[in-house]
Amino acid sequence: MKNTTLSFFLTLVFSIFLLGCSSRYSINKVDYKLNPYTGNEILVFESSKNNRDTIFLKGVENFYVRNDPLAFFPDKYELYEVRCTRSDPNYDRYLDGKMLFALGATSKEETRLRFEILLKGSWYYTPSSFLKHEFDSIPNQKLVINQTEYDDVKIILADDNYEHRDNYVKQFYWSVSKGFLGLDKKDEQWRLVKIYVP
- How would you write the pLDDT of the chain (198 residues) with one tens digit per residue? 555 664 555 454 444 444 456 789 999 999 999 999 999 999 999 999 999 999 999 999 998 988 766 667 888 989 999 999 999 999 999 999 899 999 999 988 899 999 999 999 999 998 889 999 999 999 999 999 999 999 999 999 999 899 999 999 999 999 999 999 999 999 999 999 999 998
Separation of alpha carbons 22 and 74, rounded Å:
6
Q: What is the pLDDT of residue 9?
A: 53
Which of 92, 46, 66, 5 shows the shortest CA–CA distance to 190?
46
Q: What is the DSSP string of 133-154?
A: HHHHHSPPEEEEETTEEEEEEE
Q: What is the pLDDT of residue 13?
A: 42
**168 contacts 123 by C-beta, under 8 angstroms:** yes
The one-letter amino acid at 47: S
- The continuous run of DSSP H or E covering 3 comes out as helix 2-19
Exposed / middle / buried, residue 27 (Cβ in 10 Å: 0-12, 13-18, 19+): buried
